[in-house]
Amino acid sequence: MSNEIRVRFAPSPTGYLHVGSLRTALYNYLYARKTGGKFILRIEDTDQNRFVKDAVENLLKTLQSLNIDFDEGPQNGGEFGPYFQSERTDIYRKYVDELIAKDAAYPCFCTKEDLQKMREQQKKRGEDFHYDGRCRDLSTKEAEERIANGEKYVVRLKVPKNGECTFYDLVRDKVSIPWKMVDDQVLLKSDGFPTYHLANVVDDHLMRITHVIRGEEWLSSVPKHLFLYDAFGWKPSKMCHLPLLLNSDKSKLSKRQGDVAVEDFLKKGYLKETLINFVALLGWHAKGNKEIYDLNELIKDFSLKRLNKSGAVFDLDKLNWMNKQYLHKLDIDEIAKRAKTFFQEAGYHLEKTEHLKELVEVARQRITTLDEISAFAAPFFKGLEISENDRKILRTDNSQILLKFWLENIQSAKTIDENLINKLLKRSGKELGIKGKHLYPPLRIALYGKPHGPELPTIIDILGKEKVLQRLEKQIKEK
């Protein structure tokens, strides 16, 4: 048998891609690429009640936008398909029958009403809900007769009642869980679909998954899975359970606390490089103090041995800091290309690519996310919103003299370029005696709406002669 490393990302199509799921996918991807192994995408869609239309397409689109690709999966196939669990139901039925024959599972005929009464009784006793095993010891004959009579049933795992399950986890080392804490898990639902627990173990074996890298919330399910591996006589995959993602208050990261969908972060203008870098550091620590990594560097340095046991706090301030680093670091042409989408969504159109690049170059020094660029650019496309304090600056005699001087000189100029603007700035000082804070702020306010912002040559170049004249005239008339 091959010694090739094979890992998988197995999401359920129940909506958006959670940042926690992105981390799971990323760590599996990094480990596969680091070891020269294979990275498999498997869609665990056996829970038809939770299925969300277009969720698979959105998931694939989001991962592709982050440059995370798969060696096998629904899109590119592979020798171990199909890669949708809903297309593998016949496979699971065979293994369910094998478990029943080995007395490792049993049919359960309890109705919803039975389970509800059981839940209420246990609640009164202050107990967590646990299936009480009332169908565990039904004879084979009785079970077969009830099935033949058309009674609805599920198939449950027949876990031990005594002792404990001890296993090794690549993050947590030795783990022991008492069997009395493990429920007789439903393996096959009454609709014929398997639950996660059965399908997960069967598929991991058949797809030759060597390492299961997933979230900590699945740690308590490992005894059920190991029991299944043992019942089938299979060698289990190596287990690696990632630490929880936490809010700043140390509660589990959830939608109630704010955005957790990768799509939302991308739509807000967080760069894909930022998200990959930031998420990679949520539970994995690199050597030294390095914090900025591109994807290739992550592949080179990634190691399962450097995964943390404790929960990782999703620090929005750190994410914002990191996004600023990438906004400053990436090539201006690439940033301008991505920013164009946000200009289009805001209804802003720049005819010249040079103007877009000029604006982006200035904006990226001042913004945190790309969606803020439309607000930064708004003064070039919309009417100016000038504060009352800034209007007072424009109403002073010096400001009015300055605006009239610039209006006259720009009107008479054949061409407006950086050379002309620099000459006018010098002349404003020499001929009008207006310099420094009495020179730049009034011009910026009149043309851009704020005393601070892009350099005057940039503002005037983007606005163009006609709009510059209109804005100067407006502020002179409105005194």
Residue-range domain boundaries for the chain: 1-73+243-327, 331-372, 383-477
Beta strands in 189-320 (DSSP E): 211-215, 238-242, 245-246, 312-313
For residue range 337-349, what is the model confidence (pLDDT) as tens digits? 999 989 989 888 8
| pLDDT (0 to 100) of residue 51 | 73
Q: CA nearest 469: which of 425, 421, 414, 409?
A: 409
Q: What's the pLDDT band for 1 if we cut at 50, 70, 90?
A: very low
On the question of pLDDT at 183 being above 50, the answer is yes
Q: Give the C-alpha separation, 183 to 180, whole Å.
A: 8
- What is the tens place of the pLDDT at every residue in 396-422? 999 999 999 999 999 999 889 999 999
Of these residues, 161, 255, 437, 479, which one is catalytic? 255
| Nearest to 420, CA basis, from 462, 363, 386, 460 | 460
Predicted confidence band of residue 479 (pLDDT cuts 50, 70, 90): low
pLDDT exceeds 90 at position 201: yes
Tell me: pLDDT of 49 over 90. no
Q: How far apart are CA 219 and CA 240, in angstroms?
A: 9
Please give the average per-residue pLDDT across 318-345, as a whole number: 94
To the query of whether residue 404 is one of the catalytic residues in this protein, the response is: no
The whole-angstrom separation of Cα 43 and Cα 82 is 10
Q: CA 357 → CA 364, 381, 436, 460, distances in Å?
A: 10, 16, 27, 15
Q: Which residues pair with 336 in a beta bridge?
A: none
pLDDT band at 375 (very low <50, low <70, confident <90, very high): confident
Looking at mean pLDDT, say which of 47-56, 227-236, 285-294, 457-466 comes out highest. 227-236
Average pLDDT of every residue of the chain: 92
For residues 9 and 41, what is the distance between their CA atoms, to the nearest angstrom?
Answer: 5
CATH of span 383-477? 1.10.10.350
In the prediction, which pLDDT does 72 show? 97
| Multiple choice CATH, 1-73+243-327, 1.20.1740.10, 2.30.110.10, 3.30.70.2190, 3.40.50.620 | 3.40.50.620
Percent pLDDT > 90 in the chain is 78
pLDDT at 256 over 60: no
pTM metric for this prediction = 0.91
Token readout for 315 is 């620090």
More confident position, 248 or 98: 98
Query: Mean pLDDT throughout 31-38?
Result: 97
Q: In this structure, are residues 164 and 113 in contact, taking their beta carbons and an 8 Å threshold?
A: no
User: Which residues lie below 8 Å from residue 465, measured CB to CB, with a gap of 6+?
Assistant: 410, 413, 416
- pLDDT bin (cut points 50, 70, 90) of residue 250 is confident
3-state secondary structure of 213: strand
Q: What is the pLDDT of residue 421?
A: 94
Show contacts of 403-409: CB within 8 Å, 24+ apart.
Answer: 403/442, 403/443, 403/446, 403/472, 403/475, 403/476, 404/476, 405/431, 405/432, 406/443, 406/472, 407/469, 407/472, 407/473, 407/476
Query: Which pLDDT belongs to residue 255?
Result: 57
* Rounded Cα–Cα distance for residues 432 and 446 (Å): 18
Nearest-angstrom CA–CA distance, 105 and 89: 18
Out of 1.10.540.10, 3.40.50.1970, 1.10.8.70, 3.10.620.30, select the CATH number for domain 331-372: 1.10.8.70
